[in-house]
Amino acid sequence: MIRVFLIAASPLARAALQNRFKGQGVKLVGSAASIDVLSGDLSDTQADVLLVDAAGESSEVIIESLTESGLAAEIPVVVLTEVASAAASPQALQAGIRAVLPREISTDQLAAALQAAAAGLVVLLPTEIPTAFPSVAPASQPLAELLEPLTRREREVLQMLAAGLANKEIAARLNISDHTAKFHVASILGKLGAATRTEAVALGIRRGLVLL
């Protein structure tokens, strides 16, 4: 059961979202009208995910508010927006936001996104990849086969890179040294032909090596 704290300005919107959670393995453990009024309620509920309904506000304003509040650094955040073009961006990902999704997303997809965010994953719609990772070539261009496939451990590390973990966090998760974690990251970049960690994640997504 995923515990969700909801932020939505409208009481009707909060009630509607709560109804959507029924039978989805999602439990609403608290709610607030805005990020500004959120105080100690969040820590008291032990929520797994913070769901923000950005109805009536631009995603840029919401992202800025979440960045200033520091909430995205404390808990996985999923944002629902009315603007379909306001896809997940590098700014949102850097702020720690796990997903920026359209409000008309299906209930099953929303529940899956919350589950993924709680597990530490970043959720992207296929149409968002060019926006979030502009350095990657269009998906229409075929990818050449890797000269050397990623090892099982390298796939684990790549998944953690997609979740935004730093080398020290990867080392702690896998109970390995920082040097070994750094070596795995370098090996992943080399095998995928990526210049940066972000590009490696994008290429991993295109190759089906990263679970979203």
Domain identity same for 24 and 101: yes
Q: Which residues pair with 97 in a beta bridge?
A: 77
In a domain, 162, yes or no: yes
Buried b (16+ CB within 10 A) or exposed e, 146-184: eeeebeeebbebbbbbbbbbebeebbeeeeeeeebbeeb
Predicted confidence at residue 142, as pLDDT, reads 61
Report d(CA 108, CA 116) in Å as an integer.
Answer: 12
Given a cut of 50, whether residue 85 has pLDDT beyond it is no
Domain identity same for 14 and 63: yes
DSSP H/E element including 173: helix 167-174
Mean pLDDT of the residues in the chain: 80
Domain identity same for 22 and 126: yes
Residue 26 is given by DSSP the state E
For tokens 């702690």, the residue is 172
Predicted confidence at residue 91, as pLDDT, reads 63
Domain identity same for 122 and 89: yes
User: Using one digit for the tens of pLDDT, what is the confidence trace for 99-143?
Assistant: 888 888 888 888 888 888 888 888 877 666 655 555 554 555 566
Cβ–Cβ under 8 Å, residues 2 and 47 = no
> What is the percent of the chain with per-residue pLDDT over 70, rounded to a whole number?
79
In a domain, 112, yes or no: yes
Of 45 and 14, the one with more pLDDT: 14
DSSP H/E element including 111: helix 107-118
Residue 37 is given by DSSP the state T
pTM: 0.59
Domain identity same for 21 and 116: yes
105 by Cβ neighbours in 10 Å (0-12 / 13-18 / 19+) ranks as middle
Predicted confidence at residue 176, as pLDDT, reads 93
CATH number of residue 170's parent domain: 1.10.10.10
3-state secondary structure 47-74: CCEEEEECCCCCHHHHHHHHHHHCHHHH
Domain identity same for 182 and 82: no
Mean pLDDT for the stretch of residues 167-177: 92
Mean pLDDT for the stretch of residues 91-95: 66
User: The tokens of 172 are what?
Assistant: 């702690």
Q: How many domains in the chain?
A: 2
Domain termination residue (choose one: 100, 132, 164): 132
Q: Residues 56-60: contacts with CB within 8 Å, 24+ apart?
A: 56/9, 56/82, 57/9, 58/83, 58/86, 59/83, 59/86, 59/92, 59/100, 60/86
In a domain, 144, yes or no: no
Domain identity same for 80 and 8: yes
